[in-house]
Amino acid sequence: MLLKCPLCDKKLLKQGLKNHILNKAEAEAYKHANLLAQMVYSAYCPSNAKVYDAFGGGGTRGFIASMMGHKYLGVEIRNEEVDRIKKRQIELGHKFEIICADSRFYPILEDAYDFAFSCPPYYDLEIYSKMEGDMSNAQTYEDFLAMLRQSLEITYKGLKKNALCIWVVGNFRPNRGKGELTHFNGDLVRLGLDVGFKLHDEVIFWGGSDAAAQRAGQFVANRKIVRVHESLIIFKK
Ligand SMILES: C[S@@+](CC[C@H](N)C(=O)[O-])C[C@H]1O[C@@H](n2cnc3c(N)ncnc32)[C@H](O)[C@@H]1O
């Protein structure tokens, strides 16, 4: 029996439908990340900038930076993710620097970068690996914040005076959405100020999707809204 995809009305057999929905949700998230990166570079990044990204996984910020004429360097702890991005660079014909390292200890050149743009792990919301140093694998949220502070400190060191540093973050519920709402945005602001940044601005952006709309009914069950927004926390050195 054919079943209808709730996102696009395509009809598929039960086995195929699950993969189809996952791929569609992923494609939507990818398109969204591309657009966001374009908007951020256009609005905030000086031309021909040297850009630093403490969490280069995904590659989106690197590809868009390179397509827009910037010189980007991303740090990513997982070897396989670095290899995947390098393969994708060949396919897309766009080169940028992506280094396999723990961004807490990256030996950054001081006062060298014009702009920083990053999207860190949201603690255990998505576990990337079991590697030591992978922040999504931290034992507690407090350990995670202490690790993140180290990467923020390195980013601060690498930026030129008055340079902007933009982080895409959002509040979340740990333990696969079962935990209490965790105000990650507020914690990141506190860490940023602590390492020396000034808080320049905060932008809330809508990242709603058909997939989120499909989950809206869960509000009735638990009185917890489906989050369709994230924030840009904008620091200045
Ligand atoms: C939120 S993802 C960023 C990519 C995101 N999916 C995107 O496209 O915008 C966070 C990345 O941080 C990496 N990571 C975790 N701990 C790290 C560390 N200590 N140093 C560098 N990268 C780390 C993870 O492997 C993951 O790829």
Instruction: Determine, yes or no, domain membership for 10.
Output: no
**14 has pLDDT over 80:** no
Instruction: State the pLDDT at residue 223.
Output: 87
Is residue 74 within a helix (H) or strand (E), and if so which, with residue range?
strand 71-76
Please provide the distance, in angstroms rounded to a whole number, between the alpha carbons at the two ends of the chain. 59
- Which atom, in ligand 1's list, is nearest to the CA of 129? 25
Q: Is 77 left (phi over 0), alpha (psi -120 to 50) or beta?
A: alpha
Q: Tell me the average pLDDT across 78-83.
A: 98
Centre of ligand 1 to C-alpha 213, Å, is 27
Angle at 184 between CA 64 and CA 159, to 5 degrees: 50
The pLDDT score that the predictor gives to residue 113 is 98
Residue 151 in any domain: the answer is yes
In a domain, 128, yes or no: yes
Closest atom of ligand 1 to 147 CA is 19
Pocket around ligand 1 at a 6 A CB cut-off? 33, 55, 57-58, 60, 75-78, 81, 102-104, 119-121, 128, 133-136
| Torsion of Cα atoms, 109 then 112 then 117 then 118, to 10° | 10
Q: Can you give the pLDDT at residue 10?
A: 66
Output the CA angle 218-181-145, nearest 5 degrees: 140
The answer to whether residue 9 sits within a structural domain is no
Please report whether residue 165 resides in a domain.
yes
Q: How confident is the model at residue 4 (pLDDT cuts 50, 70, 90)?
A: low
> Pick the residue with more confidence: 212 or 137?
137
Q: What is the pLDDT of residues 15-43, one digit of tens each?
A: 676 665 556 666 666 778 889 999 999 99
The owner of tokens 């709730």 is 6
Answer whether residue 1 is part of any domain. no
In a domain, 8, yes or no: no
* pLDDT per position as a tens digit, 139-162: 999 999 999 999 999 999 999 999
Q: Which residue has the higher pLDDT, 118 or 9?
A: 118
**Partners of 169 in the β-ladder:** 231
Domain range for 203 is 16-236
Residue 78 domain flag: yes
pLDDT digits (tens, 9 = 90+) for 94-106: 999 999 999 999 9
CATH assignment of the domain containing 179: 3.40.50.150
Tell me how many domains the chain contains.
1
Instruction: Note the pLDDT of residue 217.
Output: 77
pLDDT computed for residue 18 by the predictor: 62
pTM for the structure as a whole: 0.89
